[in-house]
């Protein structure tokens, strides 16, 4: 006769996932994880106020449940945590979820803990919380959030962080003593829909211009000001085009582009969904963030043999092996950044060598094959 734990190891799992649906690394990662888990035979239920933007439509075993938020005059600030927890409890009960996996602690982990406690013991899912970055590095420092985050982590059945940097910062800033398992981010690129040449043509690049790529939600910590400052120092000025895939409004930076005389150099595309088309056309990624727990965009570029120049901050050195699969410069040094970019714009063979190493590293360490089984193991451990 089989032990109950054997059955848990064998059977597909039922997993609820909550993330922010908007453009941002945590939502991208959560969507990719859900897609991969469903592809491996598990039943996956996304619970959020909107369908995550990269979540495929009509995929087998992949479901989406909307959290409806009513706007009551009674509240000055609309509340999301309570309707989210009610929906989490409802989906857990109706679909007999094994695990609620929440990405980004605020308010998802708190809502999951509340949802779990609303259910009778036999129907309670395990709660796994994945910390992504600013839930620790920004909100964790805030006296109005820190204690609630710490409490939700204590009540979670497992806590993970997307880099060792974030693991250490979470212990330090949140004063959380429990275990935090490091499971790095992964990226599984979809095949591009257009050729490299077609994309470069669309962008108006000539053969002598390198395509420098930045993609982010443009939040202040991405330091777009510094990115533009550095771009203006690259010589010769006509050796590149900087393509910015903007997950937020670029309007606040238009003046700076004009002031720096970069109108002919900077091309902005907002809310791009065919990211792979642009990644395969890029020569070099540029990232000037003041902090990043991982920087999924760097990994996305690495998958297409596109190395990056980035600031040496947070968890980025865990992603880029310095000098081998990309270049890092001290934070804030726009001149050093420009010199590093310039060197790679002109030295094609060095750039390509870094790109090959970057792609190899991405496949070895940060592929779906390497990372998704780590989450599956974790789910089975917390259930078992």
Binding site for ligand GMT (CB under 6 A): 24-27, 29, 104, 132-134, 162, 185, 217, 219, 221, 291-296
- Listed in sequence order, the DSSP H helices in the chain are 4-10, 25-39, 81-95, 108-118, 134-137, 146-155, 164-174, 196-203, 224-231, 254-259, 275-281, 296-302, 316-319, 334-346, 348-365, 368-383
Within 8 A by CB and 6+ apart from 176, the residues are 150, 153, 154, 159, 170
Cis peptide preceding 241, ω within 30 of 0 = no
Sheet holding 181-182, edge to edge: 62-66, 43-48, 14-18, 99-103, 126-131, 158-161, 181-182
Beta bridge partners of 63: 45
Within 8 A by CB and 6+ apart from 220, the residues are none
d(CA 220, CA 209): 28
Residue 18 or 134 having the CB closest to ligand GMT: 134
Distance in Å, CB of 201 to ligand GMT, minimum: 31
Residue 25 or 232 having the CB closest to ligand GMT: 25
**CB pairs under 8 A, 24+ apart, for 154-159?**
154/178, 155/113, 155/127, 156/109, 156/112, 156/113, 156/127, 156/128, 156/129, 157/126, 157/127, 157/128, 157/382, 158/126, 158/128, 158/129, 158/378, 158/381, 158/382, 159/128, 159/129, 159/130, 159/131
Residue 104 or 240 having the CB closest to ligand GMT: 104
Residue 192 or 247 having the CB closest to ligand GMT: 247
Residue 86 or 272 having the CB closest to ligand GMT: 272
Q: Rounded to whole angstroms, what are the CA distances from 281 to 189, 204, 211, 213, 284?
A: 14, 12, 7, 9, 10
Residue 311 or 338 having the CB closest to ligand GMT: 311
Residue 37 or 234 having the CB closest to ligand GMT: 37
Residue 20 or 240 having the CB closest to ligand GMT: 20
């Amino acid at each position: 006769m089989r032990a109950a734990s054997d059955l848990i190891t064998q059977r597909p799992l039922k997993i609820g996932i909550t993330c922010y649906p908007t453009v941002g690394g945590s939502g991208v990662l959560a969507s990719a994880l859900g897609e991969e888990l469903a592809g491996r035979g598990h039943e996956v239920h996304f619970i959020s106020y909107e369908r995550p933007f990269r979540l495929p439509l009509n995929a087998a075993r992949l479901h989406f449940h909307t959290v409806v938020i009513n706007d009551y005059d009674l509240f000055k600030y609309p509340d999301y945590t309570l309707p989210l927890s009610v929906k989490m409890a409802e989906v857990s009960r109706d679909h007999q979820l094994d695990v609620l996996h929440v990405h980004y602690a605020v308010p998802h982990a708190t809502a999951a803990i509340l949802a779990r406690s609303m259910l009778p013991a036999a129907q309670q899912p395990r709660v796994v919380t994945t910390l992504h970055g600013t839930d620790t590095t920004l909100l964790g420092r805030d006296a109005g959030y820190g204690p609630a985050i710490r409490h939700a982590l204590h009540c979670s059945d497992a806590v993970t962080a997307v880099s060792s940097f974030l693991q250490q910062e979470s212990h330090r800033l949140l004063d959380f003593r429990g275990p935090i398992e490091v499971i790095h981010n992964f990226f599984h690129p979809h095949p591009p829909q257009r050729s490299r040449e077609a994309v470069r043509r669309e962008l108006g690049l000539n053969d002598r211009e390198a395509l420098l790529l930045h993609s982010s939600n443009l939040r202040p910590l991405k330091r777009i000001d510094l990115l533009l400052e550095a771009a203006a120092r690259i010589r010769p000025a006509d050796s590149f085009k900087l393509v910015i895939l903007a997950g937020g409004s670029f309007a606040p930076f238009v003046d700076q582009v004009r002031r720096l005389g970069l109108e002919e150099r900077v091309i902005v595309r907002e809310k791009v969904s065919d990211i792979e088309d642009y990644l395969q056309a890029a020569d070099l990624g540029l990232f000037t963030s003041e902090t990043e727990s991982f920087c999924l965009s760097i990994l996305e570029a690495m998958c297409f043999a596109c190395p990056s120049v980035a600031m040496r901050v947070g968890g980025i050195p865990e992603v880029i092996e310095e000098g081998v699969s990309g270049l890092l410069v001290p934070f804030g040094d726009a001149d050093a950044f420009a010199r590093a970019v310039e060197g790679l714009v002109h030295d094609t063979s060095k750039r390509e060598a870094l790109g090959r190493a970057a792609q190899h590293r991405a496949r070895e360490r940060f592929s779906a094959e390497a990372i998704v089984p780590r989450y599956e193991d974790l789910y089975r451990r917390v259930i078992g």
